[in-house]
Structure 1
Amino acid sequence: MNKLPRVPLLITEEAKKKIKKIINSKNYSTYKLRIYITGGGCSGFQYGFKIDKKKQKNDIIFQNSNINIIIDPISLQYLQGGKLDYIENLEGSKFIIINPNAKTTCGCGLSFSI
């Protein structure tokens, strides 16, 4: 059996619980969390998260605590060494990336620049 590589970013316990809850509550057992980066946002790049079933040709699937995460090669270079967290506060609830590669981030934490 092929063992998937570990995710190149830390995943907090809060994020793990939320991912498992989403996947289990929607019968998404064959789905994975996709983490990606797009252009845009206040600071130039923006983080994106979605539950995805399809792996694209160059995507890499990582595993951490029985959670499968899909990251495309371009996004991977910006996420290396970061941390995925999930927060709930007065502003709402969301996944966030704490990224040591980012030179600046916006106030909402969803965009950054390198």
Structure 2
Amino acid sequence: MSETTTQTHGVQLTDVAATKVKSLLEQEGRDDLRLRIGVQPGGCSGLIYQLYFDERSLDGDLFRDFDGVEVVVDRMSAPYLDGATIDFADTIEKQGFTIDNPNAGSSCACGDSFS
């Protein structure tokens, strides 16, 4: 009998963001979804963030649980996101998920992409 180990990633999810994700998942009415965070080429600075619900588990995915919220990062995105913190803002100026990423050397004026 072999024991499998789950690889983890270095992304942090704040309590506020975890609560918002739980609320959104409850609205979806599905218990097979997890929050997937990744990066892909694009935007004016070179890379853009992806943040969405996904039921898939892909080969090489890295997982981490935050009080019942499973966050998954693909192996290629993990180095770009290591140490990043996902938060949720709900103010007059801004509403939505925010990503504070120490690996982003620069970002564009719109804040949607980084390098």
User: Based on CA coordinates, which of the two structures has the bigger radius of gyration?
Assistant: 2
- Superposition deviation, residue 90 in structure 1: 4.3
- The residue type paired with residue 46 of structure 1 is I
Q: How many angstroms apart in 1 are the aligned matches of 2:34 and 2:102?
A: 24
Query: After the TM superposition, which residues 1-114 of structure 1 pair with which residues of structure 2 at under 5 Å, given as runs?
Result: 7-90=9-92, 93-113=95-115
RMSD: 2.1
- Superposition deviation, residue 79 in structure 1: 0.5
Moved over 4 A (4+): 1-7
Q: How many angstroms apart in 2 are the aligned matches of 1:5 and 1:73?
A: 10
Please report the TM-score for the alignment, with normalisation by the length of structure 1: 0.85
- The residue type paired with residue 24 of structure 1 is E
Q: How many angstroms apart in 1 are the aligned matches of 2:32 and 2:4?
A: 17
Identity of aligned residues (%): 30
Higher fraction of strand: 1
Q: How many angstroms apart in 1 are the aligned matches of 2:5 and 2:70?
A: 11
Q: Which moved more, 1:86-95 or 1:102-111?
A: 86-95
- Superposition deviation, residue 91 in structure 1: 5.6
Q: How many angstroms apart in 2 are the aligned matches of 1:5 and 1:85?
A: 23
Please report the TM-score for the alignment, with normalisation by the length of structure 2: 0.85
- The residue type paired with residue 62 of structure 2 is I
CA deviation vs aligned residue, 1:15-71 (integer Å, no higher than 9, x gap): 111111111111121110000101111211000111000111221222111110111
- The residue type paired with residue 110 of structure 2 is C
Alignment size in residue pairs: 113
Do the aligned residues in 2 keep the contact of 1:82 with 1:100 (CA within 8 Å)? yes
- Superposition deviation, residue 6 in structure 1: 5.6
Q: Tell me, which stretches of 5 or more residues in structure 2 are unaligned? A: none
Q: How many angstroms apart in 2 are the aligned matches of 1:62 and 1:55?
A: 13
